[in-house]
Amino acid sequence: MQQLRGKVAIVTGASSGIGYAAAKLFAGEGARIVVTARRKPELDALVAELAADGGEAIAVAGDVTDESHARALVETAVGRYGGLDVAFNNAGTLGELKAVQELALSDWNATLSTNLTSAFLAAKHQIPAMLANNGGSIIFTSTFVGYTAGMPGTGAYAASKAGIIGLTQVLAAELGPKGIRVNAILPGGTDTPMARIMIRSTDDLNFVKGLHALKRLASPDEIARSALYLASDASSFTTGAAMLVDGGVSINRT
């Protein structure tokens, strides 16, 4: 049985990595999807791939820091598919990896805008559509960085992603009585293009793998499956959660 049959979803950051894997997974589970990222050719290729597999999706390229784009995604979901049930707000950036005293204000602001302000804008426009639909599930991608671990050079990234957890908790409290669940997933090391910015050699890769209790990185599909759980009715009593999907990196000391 398809876990998202009849549901309409938005997936951001869908051109690669976790967002790409989630779009494929959600479509395979029966959702009709609006996918977004900045790179239109990659989105168009994804939509064609989903269609070839029997899925239904539409691409709306744009910048998640632009409020008009956040509005357009919801309008597309409602106008094309009749409503909005699920939003996986996954788009993000590492930003500049520097010690805080070396970080320019413009770089700090850019990272917070992409990771945290975009989450606010997304929710702001998704909530009314879900209220009109008598409920829904909003999912954000946060991280263990800044939650269970401090990693040098990630000040803006950690602050922005930790902020998502605070936003998640407030939204869950505000929207729970109205049937909207709000949760965040906190991935560990995942084999994505963004992760490869930090992992530049075999030694780096082995070091990062060793930080995890499972002694490996996640595949994007493994993280996407946790998002699927939160998107589906299987998680009907789960809201306000900062859900670690981190291969044990938060508890490992071996």
Q: Give me the residue spans of the domains in the chain.
A: 8-245
Q: Which CATH number fits domain 8-245: 1.10.10.10, 2.60.120.10, 3.40.50.720, 2.40.50.100?
A: 3.40.50.720
The predicted model gives 198-218 an average pLDDT of: 92
CA contacts within 13 A on the Cβ side of 39 = 11
The predicted model gives 36-42 an average pLDDT of: 97
CB 135 within 8 A of CB 84: no
pLDDT band, very low/low/confident/very high, at 171 (cuts 50, 70, 90): very high
Q: Is the pLDDT of residue 248 over 90?
A: yes
Measured distance CA(43)–CA(58) in Å, rounded: 9
Average pLDDT taken over every residue of the chain? 96
Shortest CA distance to 65 belongs to which of 139, 19, 121, 138? 121
Q: Is the pLDDT of residue 161 over 80?
A: yes
Q: State the helix-helix crossing angle for 40-52 and 17-28, rounded to 10 degrees.
A: 30
Q: Is 20 a catalytic residue?
A: no
The predicted model gives 26-38 an average pLDDT of: 98
Dihedral, 242, 245, 251, 253 alpha carbons, nearest 10: -150
pTM: 0.97
pLDDT band, very low/low/confident/very high, at 77 (cuts 50, 70, 90): very high
Q: Is the pLDDT of residue 52 over 80?
A: yes
Q: Is the pLDDT of residue 198 over 80?
A: no
Which of 8-17, 109-118, 193-202, 212-221 comes out lowest in average pLDDT? Answer: 193-202
Residue of 20, 147, 157, 229 marked catalytic: 157
Measured distance CA(19)–CA(91) in Å, rounded: 7
Q: What pLDDT is stored for residue 196 in this prediction? A: 79
Q: What pLDDT is stored for residue 230 in this prediction? A: 98
pLDDT band, very low/low/confident/very high, at 193 (cuts 50, 70, 90): confident
pLDDT band, very low/low/confident/very high, at 200 (cuts 50, 70, 90): confident
CB 240 within 8 A of CB 183: yes
Q: What pLDDT is stored for residue 195 in this prediction? A: 78
